[in-house]
Amino acid sequence: MSTATAEVDQTPGAPDDAPKPFTVTLLIRRFNPENDRGVYWEDFDVPMYPTDRILDALHRIKWDQDGTLAFRRSCAHGICGSDAMRINGRNRLACKTLVKDLDISKPIYVEAIKGLPLEKDLIVDMEPFFESYRAVQPFLVANSAPEPGKERVQDIASRERFDDTTKCILCAACTSSCPVFWTDGQYFGPAAIVNAHRFIFDSRDDNAQVRLDILNDREGVWRCRTTFNCSEACPRGIQVTKAIAEVKAAIRTGKTS
């Protein structure tokens, strides 16, 4: 295994001041349920440019070196959230993590997110995560219909009350960075609470109290230990810990406005 310091040949005809590729070493935590090798680390040397992403490196490995490497990705632009993984010990989106933002003098460690059942290589079973998400009723519940031809009007201030939590892309980076979730698979987790927050504080919704009752549970918001791991892990910059605190306050006071 080599470290990522050696330059590789530049593209023929490129100007002298063009960015030069380097050989970067990725250490990937592998697992294949179809064999008895168990979990192990495997290194790959990949030519990359500073502005390349870890997702680009994974593509080059899969396409050119080892077609059995398994990982999820879709939009590749930080919108779908499907390529969340641990990169150098931190939850990140592979499509948003640039090589130039990492220390390429050392191997880059890539592994699946924690706290969810490992299926293969960098892929985990997301069903426990989505089960918690569905349990908080993440949809608008309105008991009365708007006037014919009219919309449910909401002023700017009311929208701003929950605007931050509408940004969630369900990547599970926050939930799988939570030490409580790692040790207690029954905990709803930050992402479910964030999506409950989005509707609890929506002035058009009539089911806030139902969601507060759901989260006022031994596996609900009171399991949060305010470590801020979730806020640091969120690729969308959502203030997750603040949202959880606001849900706690709403349970205590019964006020959502």
Which CATH number goes with the domain that contains 202?
1.10.1060.10
pLDDT at 6 over 50: no
Q: How confident is the model at residue 118 (pLDDT cuts 50, 70, 90)?
A: very high
| Residue 27 in this model has a pLDDT that exceeds 70 | yes
Q: Tell which of 78, 109, 124 closes a domain.
A: 124
Partners of residue 87 on adjacent β-strands: 90, 110
CA angle at residue 181 from 26 to 161, to 5 degrees?
A: 100
| Residues 167, 236 within the same domain | yes
Look up the pTM and report it.
0.89
Do 140 and 218 fall within a single domain?
yes
Q: Say if strands 84-87 and 108-111 run parallel, antiparallel, or are unpaired.
A: antiparallel
Q: Are residues 229 and 158 in the same domain?
A: yes
Average pLDDT in the 190-200 region? 98
β-partners of residue 29 are 41
At residue 185, the pLDDT reads 77
Same domain, 113 and 144: no
Using one digit for the tens of pLDDT, what is the confidence trace for 167-183? Answer: 999 999 999 999 999 98
Domain boundary (124, 158, 178) is at 124
CB atoms near residue 100 (< 10 Å): 11
Residue that is last in its domain, among 89, 124, 159: 124
Which residues span the domain enclosing 168? 127-253
Considering only CA atoms, which of 84, 95, 133, 104 is closest in space to residue 20? 104
The reply to whether 141 and 242 lie within a common domain is: yes
Q: pLDDT tens across 52-85, in order? A: 999 999 999 999 999 999 999 999 999 999 999 9
| The pLDDT value given to residue 146 | 85
Residues 74, 44 within the same domain? yes
Partner residues linked to 45 by β-bridges: 25
Q: What is the pLDDT of residue 184?
A: 80
Q: Which residue has the higher pLDDT, 256 or 129?
A: 129
Average pLDDT, the chain: 93
Tell me what pLDDT residue 12 has.
Answer: 59
209 part of a folded domain: yes
144 shares its domain with 80:
no
Quick one: 113 and 180 in the same domain?
no
The domain total for the chain is: 2
Residues 56, 110, 60, CA angle at the centre, nearest 5°?
25
- Residue 139 and residue 224 share a domain: yes
Indicate whether 235 belongs to any domain.
yes
Q: Is residue 197 part of a domain?
A: yes
Structural domain includes residue 11:
no
Other beta carbons within 10 angstroms of residue 38's beta carbon come to 9
The CATH number of residue 47's host domain is: 3.10.20.30
108-111/22-30 β-pairing: parallel
Q: How many Å apart are CA 92 and CA 150, to the nearest integer? A: 42
Q: Is residue 167 part of a domain?
A: yes
Q: Are residues 87 and 143 in the same domain?
A: no
* Whether 78 and 151 share a structural domain: no
Q: Do 26 and 80 sit in the same domain of this protein?
A: yes
